[in-house]
Each structure stands twice: as C-alpha cells, then as structure tokens.
A and B are shown apart, each in its own frame.
Chain A
Amino acid sequence: MIKTIKASKSEKVLFIFLLSLAIFIFTFFFLLKNKCLFVEKINLNTLKFNEPNNIAVMNLECGNVIIELYPDISPKAVERFKILIKQKKYDGSAFYKVTENTFVQAGDIEYGNINNLDYSKIGSGKSGLGLLKSELSNDFIFTKGSIGFARTTEFDTEDSEFFITLKEIPIYQGEYTPIGKVIRGLDILGKIKTGNKSIYVLRPDHIKTFRMLKSN
C-alpha cells in the first residue's frame, strides 16, 4: 500500500517561493522588459489631417510618430526634409544623441545609419545636398515635440540632422530652424534609448522607416 506523503510546511513555503520567483522572472523578461507595452498604438486610417501633404510618419520600434511639417515657417528646411524622406535617407538613421526627457537627435545620413555606424565620425556626416541657410524664427517656441534642424556651433550649417524636443526648451527660440511638430506619438519618443549621462548613445535606437503620408 502506497503511503500518501504530505508536504511539510517548509516545503509548501519553498514551493510558493519558487512559484513566485518564476512569475516574477516571467513578468520581468516578457512584460516589463517590453518598453513598448504601454505605448499608444496609432491607427493612421482613423486620423484626419488638414494638410496631409505636410504630414510625415516616422516608424520606430514602439510604433508610429506623426509629424506635421511647417513649410510656412521654414520653407527651405522643410523642402530639404521632405526630399530626404522621399529618398528614404532617414530609414535606419540612429538616435545617437539623446538626453533623457530633453531631446532626441538623428539624421546623420553618412555616418549615423544603424547598418553602418561610424562612432568616430558620427554627427559630422553630410547628405550630399549641401548646407542650408538657417531659417530662424523669433516667434517659434520649442515646446514638447517641436522638431528643429540641428547645426554646428555656426549658423547656416544645417544639412540633414534633426532633433525633437521632449520638453519646452525656451533657450532654443531663435537658435534653431524649426521644421515641424510631433502631433501624435510623443510617448514613443520617450522610449528611445538614452546615453545615461553621456550625450552619445551606445547601440542606439533607430528609425525603421520615415515616409510622407502622401507621396506626391
């Protein structure tokens, strides 16, 4: 006759502990590690825009970021931006310069593509289309989600790199050429990998695709 062996109290405690541990590990690796878990998913088909020709869609790991461009404020800069988008030059572009809750920067076409990152030269790459004159606006305030053309310490050196502000940065007013503003998906930008206290990011996140909503 087989005797039924009851688990002792300490064995029950150990079992519950191991079970809790397994649940914790599962949650940590499959749920909490998924940085895109609580990000709003944007369905482009449900959105309506006043000027669809000036809407661009940047697809990142966590979803789509919808951007409205401002050709009335910076015609030359927006024209350049659209050309680079249409030529798919921003696809794979790394967010190599990121400051937590402050700004993210990408768009180095020559040295900042995720498939061909050159850490020694990143930030100095050229688009091949030449430098642009700064189109500064003393009225444009860089609020959360504003997009500006990056430049060197000199004006009139804009080319392809751009940044997106993650908070209001009043000191940028009149300093950078405004390109547009994020109208949906700001929380996605907040998930982009930062460089901790370093301004540059090792193994950075990148733009999967960047397209105009209407291709004409």
Chain B
Amino acid sequence: MKILILFILLFHISYVNADEIYNLLKIPNLEIYKLKNNNKIRYLSAKGNFKIGVNKNITCDKVNLNNLNSKFPLIEKNINLYNSSFLNKIKLKYIIFCQNLFISEINTGGIPDNKNRSLILDINFNQKYFERMIHHEIFHMIQNTHTKYFNEDKFSSFNQTSFNYSECSTCSDRLNLDLYENTDGFLTEYSKSIPSEDMAEIFSFLMTDKKTIKDKISKDKILSKKVNFIKSNLAKIDKNIL
C-alpha cells in the first residue's frame, strides 16, 4: 500500500509537459524564441501557462506572439547593452517571456533566478517603465552574484540617519516608479523600500537615462554618493558596462 501511494505521488508530481527545455530549466511549456545572439543570451517564450516555485507561487501566462514580436526589438536593444562575459559573470543566459507574471499573487515585471541563469520577464508590464524594469531586474542578478561589492549596510549609510528602509520590498506602500522631481537621496518612491531596490533603481536609470542621473546628482549629494558607489563597484566586475 505504501509503495502504491509512493508511485501515485511520484507520478502525479512529475506529470508535466516534459521536454528538453523543462529538463534543462525546470520550467514547463517553454519554446525557443531566439537562440543565436552576439552576447550568447537565449530567448525563450511561454507557449502555455506555467506555475513554478516551491508552492507554485510563481505563475505566468503564455505569450501572444504578435505582442512579443512587437516588443522584442526594444527588449533586445536593452539586453544587447551587456556583453557575453558580463552575462556569464552574473549568471544570466536565458530570458523567458510570458504575460501576467505573479509571485505570491503580487504582479511583478520580472523574476531573476541566478541558479537557473534565467530572468523571467512579463512583456505586458507597464510600458512606461518597461526598459528600466529590465535593467532593474538584471541588477538583482548582479547583486546576487557579487554580494561583496554591493554591501547593503554600507550603501544604507549614505542616507540621512533619520531614514529607515522598509522591512521588505512588498511590505510597504512605497511602490511608485515615477522619477522624483526633488530626489533628496532617492530617485523614486520604490527606491525607499529596501536597499537592494534602491540600488536597482539607480542602476536602471544609469542604463537607460544617464543624462537625468547626471542632472540629479549635481544637486543631490546623497544620491551622488550612491551613484558613485554603484558605478565604482560595477567597474570591478566590468569596466565597459556603464
């Protein structure tokens, strides 16, 4: 009886659309979108909805190919800012496209996964912040693979002593991604959530809008210190990224 239950359990759990990509990345229902690229990144897309994670808490829907085709040039342009050596250092090889990405029922633009060398992107994420979101998520992969360069205590020490970050990125209402007119140490409201999001926000602007950063740091000493911290530590990984 025990063996029978074990069999049922085993074959129930492993009942997925098992294919070669699932075997590699442990994400079902993916297909190749574009494989050959100069920086050796590989693009995959969801041909069906999928649920992954320990408690299947990450969900995403299949892509509409017309939708993806229209957005891909913009995505590719941004990903091409990274060379293959850098991508290798931050353990990013697969960009996975899907629509309506949720983690624990919270809508998100991207989910980085250094272990699987992949970044899941929601191609339906707000187009106003879409480019920045890509780089924001890539920064998390940079930080995860180079924690010694992006020490959060040191980074937090640049803030005014009266300021405190939230406990976690989603347990506050500091979620707005619009650029502050008056930065006062933070580029966006979301920057105030936790140190890693603050760093990721700075990095995303550095990759998409250097001029704005230059203007802002000329009038904001705290922000200037933060930007220099990010730039100097990124240079230790790759001098040509910024």
Q: Which residues of A contact B (CB under 8 A)?
A: 97, 99, 102-103, 119-120, 153-154, 165, 169-172, 174-175, 195, 197-200, 202
Contacts and interface: CB of A to CB of B under 8 A. Distances in A.
B18 A202 contact: no
A99 B18 CA distance: 7
A202 B17 contact: no
B20 A99 contact: yes
B171 interface: no
Contact of A198 (B15, B20, B35): B15
B11 A200 contact: yes
Interface in B14-51: 14-24, 26, 32, 35, 40, 42
Contacts of A99: 18-20, 23
B19 A119 contact: no
A75 to B, nearest CB: 23
B54 interface: no
A200 B42 contact: no
B151 to A, nearest CB: 26
A172 to B, nearest CB: 7
Contacts of B7: 119, 202
Closest 6 CB pairs between A and B?
A199-B18, A169-B20, A198-B15, A200-B14, A99-B18, A199-B14
Given A99-B23, A153-B26, A171-B42, A198 B32 contact: no
A123 B32 CA distance: 26
B20 A172 contact: yes
Contact of A199 (B6, B22, B40, B116): B22
Contacts of B115: 153-154
A169 to B, nearest CB: 5
A171 B26 contact: no
Nearest to A196: B15
Interface in B26-81: 26, 32, 35, 40, 42
Contacts of B20: 99, 102-103, 165, 169, 171-172
Contact of A197 (B6, B17, B32, B40): B17
Given A171-B24, A175-B24, A197-B18, A202 B11 contact: yes
Contacts, number: 52
Contacts of B10: 119-120, 200
A97 B22 CA distance: 12
Contacts of A102: 19-20
Contacts of B40: 174
A99 B24 CA distance: 13
B14 A198 contact: yes
Contacts of B19: 99, 102
Interface string B210-226: 00000000000000000
Given A120-B6, A171-B35, A202-B7, A195 B18 contact: yes
Given A119-B6, A170-B32, 12 more contacts: A99-B23, A102-B19, A103-B20, A103-B23, A171-B32, A171-B42, A172-B24, A198-B14, A198-B15, A198-B16, A199-B22, A200-B14
5 contacts: A170-B35, A197-B16, A198-B15, A199-B22, A200-B10
A168 to B, nearest CB: 10
Contact of A153 (B16, B32, B116): B116
Nearest to A155: B117
A202 B7 CA distance: 9
Contacts of A120: 6, 10
Nearest to B32: A171
A195 B115 CA distance: 27
